[in-house]
Amino acid sequence: MELTREASRDEVLAAFRAAPRIAFIRMSDGVVALNSTIELMKDLGRPRGDMWEVALWEDVLTVQGNELYYTYQVYNEAIVVPENIDAIRALAGTVTNRAESIRITDEAMGMQQDFLVR
């Protein structure tokens, strides 16, 4: 990805950490392939091994000047679930603040920003 300016690796990681629904995984924790994430979700007790977050390999992320290289995984069948819940809440008018709706959904679903806390 080409960034609009040069950035450090720490800056990019901080930006990803500030975004909701991105979870960090690491090859150094044994999560080395796409199938590893599904097994991890099952180990965490997720129904059907669903991963609702975008999984981003933290230890693979590299920044060179204004170029960013990263690897992520999206579980296509599960990633839409939290957004659909937020959409239903918005249509019903029960919560009108986007950030608050995301917080409620994420908390109710047990979404995480780091699957394997160090």
Is 115 a residue whose pLDDT tops 90? no
Is 116 a residue whose pLDDT tops 90? no
The pLDDT score that the predictor gives to residue 72 is: 94
Helix (H) or strand (E) holding 81: helix 80-92
* Per-residue pLDDT tens digits for 67-97: 999 999 999 889 999 999 999 999 999 999 9
* Per-residue pLDDT tens digits for 1-30: 999 999 999 999 999 999 999 999 999 998
* Mean pLDDT confidence for 43-64: 94
The pLDDT score that the predictor gives to residue 33 is: 86
Q: Mean pLDDT over all residues of the chain?
A: 93
Helix (H) or strand (E) holding 42: helix 34-43
Distance CA(89)–CA(112), nearest Å, equals 21
* Mean pLDDT confidence for 60-71: 96
What domains, with CATH codes, occur in the chain? 1-77 (3.30.360.10), 79-111 (no CATH)
The pLDDT score that the predictor gives to residue 34 is: 84
